[in-house]
Structure 1
């Protein structure tokens, strides 16, 4: 249940943010009834309770007429008066004090230029403000705060404004009509000049860029030329023949052809030192 309420509140906040440009921190205009409800149900501090309701940071406001009304009520509303005095005072420009609901309705006006959220327990005031397109309303029920969904009037206002954006206004239509007529007039003058020849130029004179060229050459030069890629030869490194790596042991041997014509390997004879010693002893 709590998750559904938060989801509904986020959807409503997104509606007013996208359609009417509400931005954080949201400004909440409170009257005396709402301040009394917060104190009576221990919903303090008030800024934390409202920020949890809107899932965003808030700034709380009230008017001097609301403070004057709470002060007139005497000791029964002294705590509400002291709490309301801590809020930021919104400018109402009333020389003579008026009732709180009339003051808030006048501060909001027809367009709510200050982008206020209105927090009140007055049902009549909420019904009155539902007819203003961009006024989100907050009220309390026991120990919970609720953000009212957009009214039918507010939804229809947004839908009609979107349809108006899709169509051109009278000024835009007139500007477009003038532009089309001027373009068509220029096109007619160009066609007439083409039929006459070169227009203001004399027939004996030709433009500088076409004076020394024939029609064929001009056509050829005007065409877009693409460079064709020529076929290139193979990579010489990839065509290079492989080297025969001979075995160093076999390379040391020399090939010798025998009588039968077959190749024979010539081996060197190793002479031992024993033979020399025997020859020396025999000579002695």
Structure 2
């Protein structure tokens, strides 16, 4: 259940950051009823609990009128009145420009304005104030149920405002259309003037070229070929290996080799020393 709640809160915060430009750290404008609820249910520290709900660091604010109302009518809150007043005084005071003191609800609505330019999250326990705030585009609401803090889902009016603003961005306004039409007219006038100047220059160039051609023909000079066909060239002589020269054999050496081979071929004479010679008679 807790995981589902965190996913839902993350989705709501992503909607306000993408469509209304909310940025971290988020600013939370607290009503005195919300401060009193945090004190009585011991939800402390408040900034840590709210940052866990929003998923980012937060800064807590309140108004002078809210603190003044808590001082005047705080006795009805019981023994926790002093703790609530101390907790409200510890918050940062949001600027409200009205001179006379107003009720806390009217002061919060005045600080938010028509478009919530300061990008406040409003934390309150009053159901009527929550309903009126959700009618204003771009104002997320935080409330508490006992020890659980919840983030109100965007209302149908807020979603419809985002849809209509996106459609308006896709189409041009009357002022943009007039500016575009004026710019196109100026470009057409400039192009027409450039064409007139270009035609005069082209005529002059053609006349000069024709005059050059006639003079060259009269003198008998041929025009050079503009493009020449590239022919294959020979290899780079430095990158080629030198040719190997064949050595001639020495004639004397060949003759000596022939003589030695002939000598070796001669038959070997057999010696007859071991045989007794036949002695002649007488």
**Interval of TM-score (by shorter of Structure 1 and Structure 2):** 0.7 to 0.9
- The answer to whether the Cα contact below 8 Å between 1:138 and 1:148 also exists between their aligned partners in 2 is yes
Change over 3 Å in CA distance of 1:53–1:240 after alignment to 2: farther
TM-score by length of 1: 0.72
CA contact (8 A) 1:70 1:78 kept: no
Determine helix, strand or coil for the equivalent of 2:143: strand
Does residue 81 of the first structure (1) align with residue 81 of the second (2)?
no
CA distance in 2, matches of 1:85, 1:97: 17
Aligned to 1:66: 66
CA-atom RMSD in angstroms:
3.7
- For 2:171 and 2:15, the matched residues in 1 are separated by 23
* Distance (whole Å) between structure 2 residues aligned to residue 102 and residue 208 of structure 1: 85
For 1:232 and 1:36, the matched residues in 2 are separated by 98
Q: What is the distance in 1 between the residues matched to 2:213 and 2:38?
A: 93
1:28 aligns with 2:28: yes
**Rg comparison, structure with higher value:** 2
Unaligned runs of 5+ in 2: 215-224, 245-252, 265-282
Q: How many residues in Structure 1 have an aligned counterpart in Structure 2?
A: 241
Q: Secondary structure at the match of 1:105?
A: helix
DSSP-derived class of the 2:200 partner? coil
* 1:124 pairs with one of 128, 138, 141: 128
Cα displacement string for residues 159-212 of structure 1 (whole angstroms, at most 9, x for unaligned residues): 111111111111111111112222333444455667xx628x9x8x66999798
Deviations 1:13-66 (A, max 9, x none): 122122222111111000011111111222101111111111111110001111
| Structure 1 counterpart SS, 2:158 | helix
The answer to whether structure 1 residue 108 and structure 2 residue 112 are counterparts is: yes
Structure 2 CA distance, aligned partners of 1:172 and 1:192?
31
Unaligned runs of 5+ in 1: 243-253, 265-284
- Following the alignment from structure 1 to structure 2, what is the Cα–Cα distance between the partners of residues 45 and 179? 59
Q: Distance in 1 between matches of 2:164 and 2:33?
A: 35
Q: 1:140 to 1:193 in 2, by over 3 A?
A: same
Distance (whole Å) between structure 1 residues aligned to residue 191 and residue 23 of structure 2: 50
In structure 2, distance between residues paired with 1:96 and 1:87: 21
CA displacement at 1:107 relative to structure 2: 0.8
1:73-131 C-alpha deviation (Å, 9 max, x unpaired): 34422221111111011122333322111110111110111111100111111110111
In the alignment, what sits opposite 1:41?
41
> Of 149, 173, 176, which residue of structure 2 is paired with 1:172?
176
The question of 1:140 aligning with 2:144 is answered yes
Which residue of structure 2 aligns with residue 93 of structure 1?
97
Partner secondary structure for residue 61 of structure 1 = strand
> Under a length normalisation based on structure 2, what TM-score does the superposition of the two structures give?
0.72
Matched, 1:198 2:206: no
Aligned runs of 1:108-257 on 2, under 5 Å? 108-190=112-194, 198=200, 233=235, 239=241, 257=257
Q: In structure 2, do the counterparts of structure 1 residues 37 and 193 end up closer, same or farther at CA, with 3 Å as the change threshold?
A: same
1:217-259 deviation line (CA, Å, top 9, x unaligned)? xxx99xxx9x9796673796575679xxxxxxxxxxx996233
Q: Distance in 2 between matches of 1:211 and 1:42?
A: 100
In the alignment, the residues of structure 2 paired with residue 72 and residue 229 of structure 1 have an alpha-carbon distance, to the nearest angstrom, of 104
